[in-house]
Amino acid sequence: MEKDTSFLLTGIKFNKKRFAGDFSRFKKRKQRNDDGPVDDLSYFKREDTEAEKVVVSVNKKRKRKTKAERVEGFSVFKGSDSVPVVTDEGSEQEESNQKELNRQNERDLRLRKKYGIHVSGNNVPSPLQSFAELSTRYGCESYLLHNLVKLGFKEPTPIQRQAIPVLLSGRECFAKAPTGSGKTLAFVYPMLMKLKQPSKDGIRAVILCHTRELAAQTTRECKKMAKGSKFRIKLMTKELLRNTDFTKLPCDILISTPRRLQLCISKKKKKIDLSRVEYLVLDESDKLFERSLLEQTDSVVKACSNPSIIRSLFSATLPGFVEDVARTVMHDAVRVIVGDKNAASESIKQKLIFAGSEEGKLLALRQSFSESLNPPMLIFVQSIERAEELYGELKFDSIRVGVIHSNLSQEQRESVIDDFRAGKTWVLIATDVLGRGMDFKGVKCVINYDFPDCAASYIHRIGRSGRAGRIGEAITFYTEHDIPYLRNIANVMTASGCEVPSWLMDMPKKKWKKHCPRRESISTKPKDQEE
Ligand SMILES: Nc1ncnc2c1ncn2[C@@H]1O[C@H](COP(=O)(O)OP(=O)(O)OP(=O)(O)O)[C@@H](O)[C@H]1O
């Protein structure tokens, strides 16, 4: 791995006043100059430095000399490493290497078990014991370590522990981990590390997100992580799409929805060239492979025609059909699963409430507001019409409420999100347009005013609370319409460690098709008084 990190350090300004604590830690060690590289990794707690030394030495020795070991599980994707056993050293040395390797495998297994990481694939790289290993094992640039310090991240989350080494070792990756568990960093960091420095060779990395809101959020996060480098990170906006000569776009990393990128690909003139893309991430991959987005996603995947491209798929839900699609496009991929396959985040307290009728839901909502309103809060409904109806009901109550759905203009959507992030609105009513990926740090409670249309939608919606290990709460209203699907939610609750009454578990299972029943209007106003 590349160790020379100096070229990206010029120009990094480390605010000594603001990060006095961190600075004093770094100052003790060798420095090139005041704003020089981070040489002290003590900020990142190390669990086992001896083990780390072994990792480095084993990794050096591994270089395709030992037989293709299988760390765990089975090979799900086309494997390329049926490497023959090569013995070119004395048998003593071979034996000691093998012992070292076995010890390392045991350590990997223990670490994976501790963090609930399950892997499948050939030669899966060892999980990270600490962020410090990004430097000791992979020669991570100092600015990236600075940024971790600034973000206040001390320990990698389980998905980061495993997915980062997989991607850094140049393997394609297919990952599922709970909502709010830091998947964004898990794909952005290795991307920044592998790209190394900006280049004028065209777009080298693409991140696809299913909504504009998520694309904007990911762009912001990516810029935070890349601070101190000169990478050109661009969000595909409407303006960019309309007014840009893509043959001249100065951009290293492009973040877009599939629809906008497809439009750029199919432009007649000055169209975008994705043939040099080295890294392609499909975030919320199961959503991107749903029928409504599949064609657009597919055309982007095809346009990224570089034969040595590394693709990765990330989501909190992993249905079988996504694995099937992945099998057809990925090569020698590693599958990483954190936690139970069908579970929501364990830090969310989940409740089901029988509301009887539509009127009952509104009463229950108002009652819960009057007892304890714990903003910021998200309320999910099943359609645009119902979002507007509920907004019409709540906007005259004494709470600050907003509404978001796909019928609003981009400017309106942005301003609603900004107001919610800034605390100007306390309660945000949303359709599923906001159900996935969005990271509103303070959201303590999610209410499913309307029952979700599938288990994945339930897991993602409630995952807007309880992020980054914080405690969250999720309340789901149900009426007679929803009873046949209660058992499906109960299964998710059980898998996530929630207590579920036995009568619920005794209910029959029903195959969940898109559940979106006709519901009575939310509005309590007579029709002739509606605006
Ligand atoms: N190592 C870390 N330590 C502490 N917090 C972290 C760490 N990594 C990421 N975070 C924070 O965790 C939060 C959730 O991260 P992120 O949005 O990437 O989750 P996610 O797994 O993509 O969730 P979702 O499935 O809902 O999209 C963010 O606020 C992020 O800043």
Query: Where residue 326 falls among pLDDT bands split at 50, 70, 90?
Result: confident
Q: What is the percentage of the chain residues whose pLDDT exceeds 90?
A: 64
Worst-scoring range by mean pLDDT, 63-72, 182-191, 303-312, 499-508? 63-72
Q: Residue 8 pLDDT more than 70?
A: no
* Angstrom distance (rounded) from CA 76 to CA 90: 35
Residue 55: what pLDDT? 37
pLDDT band at 292 (very low <50, low <70, confident <90, very high): very high
Phi-psi region of 356 (alpha: psi -120 to 50; beta: other; left: phi over 0): left
pLDDT in tens, 479-502: 998 999 999 999 999 999 999 989
Find, among 120, 145, 114, 139, the residue nearest to 56 by Cα: 139
Strand 117-120, strand 334-338: pairing:
antiparallel
Instruction: Please give the single-letter amino acid code of residue 193.
Output: M
> Residue 65: its pLDDT value, please?
35
Cα-to-centroid distance, 504 and ligand 1 (Å): 32
Q: Per-residue pLDDT tens for 171-219?
A: 999 999 999 999 999 999 999 999 999 998 899 999 999 999 999 999 9
Contact (CB, 8 A) for 233 and 253: yes
Supply the pLDDT for residue 514: 74
The Cα 299–Cα 86 span in angstroms is: 42
Least confident of 203-217, 251-265, 322-336, 432-446: 322-336
| Under 8 Å between Cβ of 313 and 164 | no
Average pLDDT over residues 365-373: 85
- First-last CA distance in the chain: 64
| Confidence bin at 527 (pLDDT 50/70/90) | low
* SS3 label, residue 218: helix
pLDDT of amino acid 85: 47
Q: Whose CA is nearest to atom 1 of ligand 1?
A: 156
| Best mutation site among 43, 45, 131, 153 for ligand 1 pocket (most ligand atoms within 8 Å of CB) | 153
Report the range of poorest mean pLDDT among 84-98, 143-157, 325-339, 437-451. Answer: 84-98
- CA separation for the pair 120, 136 (Å, rounded): 25
HEC letters along 135-168: HHCCCCCHHHHHHHHHHCCCCCCHHHHHHHHHHH
Can the peptide bond before residue 198 be classed as cis, meaning omega within 30 degrees of 0? no
The pLDDT of residue 530: 53
Give the pLDDT confidence score for residue 468 in this predicted structure. Answer: 93
For residue 475, pLDDT beyond 50: yes
What pLDDT does 81 receive?
40
Query: Does pLDDT of 56 surpass 70?
Result: no
Instruction: Give yes or no for a contact between 479 and 458, defined as CB atoms under 8 angstroms apart.
Output: no
Read off the pLDDT band of 517 (50, 70, 90): confident
Pick from 252, 217, 248, 221: nearest CA to 234: 252
Q: What percent of the chain has pLDDT over 70?
A: 82
> Which residues have any ligand 1 atom within 6 Å of their CB?
153, 155-157, 160, 177, 179-185, 316, 437, 439, 441, 463, 467-468
Average pLDDT over residues 347-363: 93
**3-state SS assignment for residue 448:** strand
What residues are paired with 254 via a beta bridge?
206, 234
Confidence of residue 397 (pLDDT cuts 50, 70, 90): confident
Ligand 1 pocket: which of 159, 183, 345, 436 to mutate (most atoms within 8 A of CB): 183
Compute the distance between CA of residue 166 and CA of residue 156 in angstroms, rounded to an integer: 14
Task: Provide the pLDDT for residue 45.
Answer: 56
pLDDT value of residue 370? 84
Q: What is the pLDDT of residue 526?
A: 64
Whether pLDDT at 29 is above 90: no
Tell me which of 28 and 289 has the higher pLDDT.
Answer: 289
User: Residue 400: pLDDT above 90?
Assistant: yes
Beta partners for 338?
117
Question: For ligand 1, what atom is nearest to the CA of residue 160?
Answer: 1
DSSP symbol at 8:
G
Looking at mean pLDDT, say which of 40-49, 60-69, 103-112 comes out highest.
103-112
- Distance from residue 171's CA to the centre of ligand 1 (Å): 22
pTM of the model: 0.83
Please count the helices (runs of H) and the strands (runs of E) in the chain.
19, 14
Q: Quick one: how far is CA 359 from the chain centroid?
A: 37
Say which amino acid occupies 22. Answer: D
- Give the strands of the sheet with 279-283, arranged side by side: 117-120, 334-338, 173-176, 310-315, 279-283, 205-208, 253-256, 233-235
Both tokens of 83, joined, read 């490497």
Helix (H, G, I), strand (E, B) or coil at 115: coil
Mean of the per-residue pLDDT values of the chain? 84
The atom of ligand 1 lying closest to the CA of 464 is: 26
Q: Which amino acid is at 424?
A: K
Q: How far is CA 326 from CA 256, 290, 490, in A?
A: 20, 13, 29
Query: Please, which pLDDT band fits residue 76 given cuts at 50, 70 and 90?
Result: very low
- Average pLDDT of the residues in 461-478: 95
The backbone torsions φ and ψ at residue 277, rounded to the nearest 5 degrees and listed phi first, read: -65, 125
pLDDT above 90 (res 234): yes
pLDDT band, residue 531 (cuts 50/70/90): low
Taking the centre of ligand 1 as the mean of its atom positions, its distance from the CA of residue 452, in whole angstroms, is: 23
Specify the range with the lowest mean pLDDT, choosing from 58-62, 303-307, 403-407: 58-62
Confidence bin at 222 (pLDDT 50/70/90): very high
- Cα of 396 to ligand 1 centre, how many Å? 35
pLDDT in tens, 112-133: 999 999 999 999 999 999 999 9
Backbone angles phi, psi at 89, to 5 degrees: -120, 170
37, pLDDT greater than 60: no
